A and B are shown apart, each in its own frame.
Chain A
Amino acid sequence: MDEPQLVAFEFDRVAVRRGDRRVLDEVTAQIPAAGITVISGPSGAGKTTLLRLCNRLEVPDEGTVRYRGRPLDKLDPLALRRRVGMVFQRPTPFPGTVAGNLAVAHPDAGPEEMSAALKRVALDPVLLAQEARTLSGGELQRMCLARTLVTQPETLLLDEPTSALDAQPKQVFETTARELAAQGITIIWVTHDGAQAGRVADRIYQLRDGRLTPAAGEARP
């Protein structure tokens, strides 16, 4: 018999409204902690909203989101966000160097810790002294991932992180994410790219018409 899977996030009748429109409509689902869970679905299906609920950049109008069994509104939002890191669709470099960017996430991080974070995302530590905004798109997105990793998160929320990248940097990002998952980090990856979902996912959920359902037989072999 299979071991019961540890649940990272649990959505219990979660609804989000924008004016009259229901972006999410009574979403009830569990997202396991192990590996990479891809959430796919058409544009405007509410994928980003669902992800933003997970680190409380948004709160639901109805229902409850639980993280590892505890309702999010019972957790300190700042502590939650350090446990549940997020990488956004567009890279969001802060003004200053790469080291300065990492220091925003972890002001006490020393050079060794910062170098290690860059290596985890396949970036050369010499980039630490470079102005963040001079990096290429692929490097910039991996720097944002490294910046999130210095807070030592258990879970990563990736919101279409490679949508603006070419094939090669996209592949590097995917490999990096697989390695992080293998190190035990829970990853929830939002994408509308079906091929990418097939390459990276341990399981795929479809978000359609405001409802989240497991999609069978599409995940990585």
Chain B
Amino acid sequence: MNDTVSWAGLAVSLLLVAAAAGISWWQRLGLQRQILIAAIRALVQLLLVGAALTLVISPGQSIWWSWLWVAAMLGYAATVARRRAPEVPHLLTLALASFTAAAVVTLGVLFGLHVFPLTGRTLVPIAGMMVGNSMTATVLAGRRLTDELRDKRDEVEARLALGQPARLAATPYVRASLRAALTPQIETTKATGLVFLPGAMTGLILAGAAPLQAVLVQAVVMFLVLAATATTTTVIALGLIRRLFTPDHRLVYLPAPADR
């Protein structure tokens, strides 16, 4: 790990933020303030996280601190999902359940089958990748399913009126929402390496790792994200079905966006 960025280098890179702000000023976008605030906020957040991570994953530190970090990350991610899609009922608990399920599946495979050694240095970033990358799909799946059931209420109730149980009546809409949520991730996976170089790999190469080693890690991360997205979206969809239908197979009232 030789080619590290110095504090002076970081300061110089602020020129790039100035460039973005300059473009905003030149084109009269009025976004200069927001660009500066975003950059400063990101820097402060990263420095804080870096300091905390240094403590948590330093050699000799108990692995439980890393697990605690992961748990906090899952909880925070659930609140972010809730904020991004307030129209989806019960999203906080559902997102928490879905991120936890994805963590069990992905961390179980990667660490249980010794793809990576279980240390704070591996656990925290991998769990972070897992949650960060499946967040969008999770929100998308929840939002799409809620919209489908609200907009196609007539069709759903026609299925219920034919005696279909709620789970079966909801199946076409669950499939549509899972497909919509998973397709972007599948497309990204297909284009990896050809169209763009993903973050983990870029970071490793910049930090001086051999490209082949970086590629192997990146491949594992992509597979991790695929599994995580599939798991989180499915848990969200099935969990939502349980909450949007009553035990006697009625669809609950879903307010239109304008009514909210």
Chain A positions near chain B (C-beta within 8 angstroms):
55-59, 73, 77-79, 81-82, 85-86, 88, 90, 92, 94-95, 104-105, 144, 147-148, 151
Complex Cα spacing A197 to B102, Å = 58
Is B249 an interface residue when CB atoms closer than 8 A count as contact? Answer: yes
Cβ A78 vs Cβ B165 within 8 A: yes
Is B163 an interface residue when CB atoms closer than 8 A count as contact? Answer: yes
> Given known contacts A78-B249, A104-B164, is B157 in contact with A57 (CB within 8 Å)?
yes
Cβ A88 vs Cβ B157 within 8 A: yes
Q: Is the interface of A mostly helix, strand, loop or mixed?
A: mixed
Cβ A56 vs Cβ B248 within 8 A: yes
Is B48 an interface residue when CB atoms closer than 8 A count as contact? Answer: no
Is B23 an interface residue when CB atoms closer than 8 A count as contact? Answer: no
Q: Which residues of the partner chain B approach A86 to less than 8 Å between Cβ atoms?
A: 158, 161
Cβ A77 vs Cβ B155 within 8 A: no
- Our pick among B159, B165, B249 for the contact of A94 (Cβ within 8 Å) is B159
> Given known contacts A58-B250, A90-B154, A92-B154, is B159 in contact with A81 (CB within 8 Å)?
no
Closest beta carbon of chain B to A112's beta carbon, Å: 20
7 A-B pairs with C-beta separation under 8 A? A59-B250, A81-B162, A92-B157, A92-B158, A104-B162, A147-B162, A148-B162
Closest beta carbon of chain B to A21's beta carbon, Å: 14
Cβ A81 vs Cβ B160 within 8 A: yes
Q: Which residues of the partner chain B approach A85 to less than 8 Å between Cβ atoms?
A: 161-162
Q: Which residues of the partner chain A approach B155 to less than 8 Å between Cβ atoms?
A: 92, 94
Which interface residue of B155, B161, B249 has the most chain A CB atoms within 10 A?
B161
Q: Which residues of the partner chain B approach A105 to less than 8 Å between Cβ atoms?
A: 162-163
Closest beta carbon of chain A to B153's beta carbon, Å: 10
Q: Which residues of the partner chain A approach B248 to less than 8 Å between Cβ atoms?
A: 56, 59, 73, 77
Cβ A151 vs Cβ B163 within 8 A: yes
> Given known contacts A78-B163, A78-B165, A104-B164, is B158 in contact with A88 (CB within 8 Å)?
yes
Complex Cα spacing A221 to B248, Å = 41
Within 8 A of A (CB), among B135-150: none
Complex Cα spacing A86 to B161, Å = 6
Cβ A79 vs Cβ B158 within 8 A: no
Closest beta carbon of chain B to A87's beta carbon, Å: 9
Cβ B163 vs Cβ A57 within 8 A: no
Cβ B158 vs Cβ A82 within 8 A: no
- Our pick among A56, A79, A82 for the contact of B162 (Cβ within 8 Å) is A82
